[in-house]
Amino acid sequence: MQEVENVYQDAYYRTKSLKGLFIHDISNLFQIISNSIELCESLLKDQVKTGDIIEYFQMIAQQLNLGKMLIRNVRNLSELEEYKMPLAPVEVFFTLSSAINFTHINFPKKNIDIKVNSDYRNLYIMANELLSEVFENIITNSINYNKNKVVQIEIKISVFDIQYKNYVKIEFKDNGIGIDDARKEIIFQETHLKNIHSKGMGIGLSLVSKLIELYSGNIWVEDRIKGNSTKGSNFIILIPLEKKRR
């Protein structure tokens, strides 16, 4: 009886956490949209040239796209909690290519330079269709937390052995604002994800963490340049390599 009660209690707290994260993230989006509209209205009253207002409309469009992604992330997280999602062999490079294309479509006015480096061309892991959400969320974070005119993301893919088991290692190295050492230790922990006042990646990172766990993998973050957290981040994913399909 106690075990059943604990299960329901955990489900209650996860739902409450998800609700808090959603309210936190969607409130931020609406605040930015509201501020942009007010600025546009002020500029129009002052008869400012149209070109000076366009950037605010672009910001509104970007926030709307992020809102769509947020809603999709919430739906996917809810399904992860509710159903046991089956896994199947998924090709990494095809999924990554789709995620990169999605990113360029969602940020048409951003100067984004994404390079993929690997000695391999076809790699399969046991995952599902939500693998693309993992890639999209990490890439989107690299863009959102970046103050450079050109967003640079290097994606390095390799294979190596850990205790006689092969893993696919995927590194996302960006030139963004970075993550300080104190936050590196907690951003993937459940307690951090429940904190609606935590600055950062909210539901997107929560979804990524849950999916990597589902794939029997691991994820962590390092400095892009070792010892300097202000020069960008390196999100590292390890997922077991699936044998070649028969």
d(CA 38, CA 43): 9
Structure tokens given for 192:
């951090």
Element at 155 (helix H, strand E):
strand 150-162
Mean pLDDT over 89-118 rounds to 91
What is the distance of C-alpha 164 from the center of its chain? Answer: 30
**In terms of CATH, what superfamily is 88-240?**
Histidine kinase-like ATPase, C-terminal domain (3.30.565.10)
| Most confident by average pLDDT, 9-23, 62-76, 128-142, 144-158 | 144-158
Element at 124 (helix H, strand E):
strand 124-127
d(CA 58, CA 188): 31
pLDDT in tens, 49-77: 666 677 767 777 767 776 776 676 666 66
- pLDDT band at 224, cuts 50/70/90? very high
Q: Which amino acid is at 8?
A: Y
pTM (2 d.p.): 0.70
Task: Kindly state the percentage of the chain with pLDDT values over 70.
Answer: 69
Average pLDDT, the chain: 78
Specify the higher pLDDT residue, 126 or 45.
126
Tell me the pairing of strands 111-118 and 150-162.
parallel
Q: Which residue has the tokens 């992020």?
A: 66
Each domain of the chain, given as residue ranges in start order, spans: 2-82, 88-240
What's the pLDDT at 19?
54
What is the distance of C-alpha 147 from the center of its chain? Answer: 17
What's the pLDDT at 82?
54
Tell me the pairing of strands 165-174 and 218-225.
unpaired
**Non-local CB neighbours of 141 within 8 Å, separated by 6+ positions:** 201, 204, 205, 235
Check whether 200 has a pLDDT greater than 80: no
What's the pLDDT at 23?
58
Structure tokens given for 227:
């010892």
- pLDDT band at 197, cuts 50/70/90? very low
